[in-house]
Amino acid sequence: MITRTKELFGITMLFLYVFCFIGCSNEDEVFHSLSMDVDGIELTKEKKSEIYWGEAPADRMKFTITGKGKYADLTYITSVCIDGVSQTQKNDQGKREPVDEYSVWEGEWGYIKYQTKLPPYCMQFELAPNTSDKKRFYEFQLGYGYWHAIVKIIQKSR
């Protein structure tokens, strides 16, 4: 009898937990895709996500991304990771949006430079040659919060 009561109690608690968990969802929570024009590299968008994938050759490569559409003013770089290591902006002033048209992210991996001072922002990317025997992984986040996109690029090795 005690075992049966424990089973029923456990099932009831599980039901209540699941019901509460489902009831806590926020229907107003909507993520918005950032639209962009891309020139110099082919990017493929993952279904049902804000992630774009691309592949780059081992050689030096340049491409541009320009914000477009309703949220073009939010299409700017907010973080850069190279092989899982976060990078810092050259003239970082603690702001998310570009400081000026010369806002630059750079390192041995290459650079990103803004070509425009005002939205829609046009960003020029230059990936340095990958002379190692391992692929290089780039991850660029554009926008933030509910308005974002992530561009992931795999650069081939020599």
pLDDT tens for each residue of 30-75: 778 899 999 999 999 998 889 999 999 999 999 999 999 999 999 9
Has residue 14 got a pLDDT over 80?
Answer: no
pLDDT of residue 32: 81
Q: Which residues pair with 45 in a beta bridge?
A: 52
How far is 31 from 150, CA to CA, in rounded Å? 13
Q: What is the DSSP string of 86-138?
A: E--BTT--S-SS-SSTT-EEEETTEEEEES-SSSSPEEEEEEPP--SSS-EEE
Cα 56 from chain centre:
17
pLDDT of residue 138: 98
pLDDT of residue 102: 63
pLDDT tens for each residue of 92-133: 655 666 766 667 888 999 999 989 888 899 999 999 999 999
Has residue 13 got a pLDDT over 70?
Answer: no
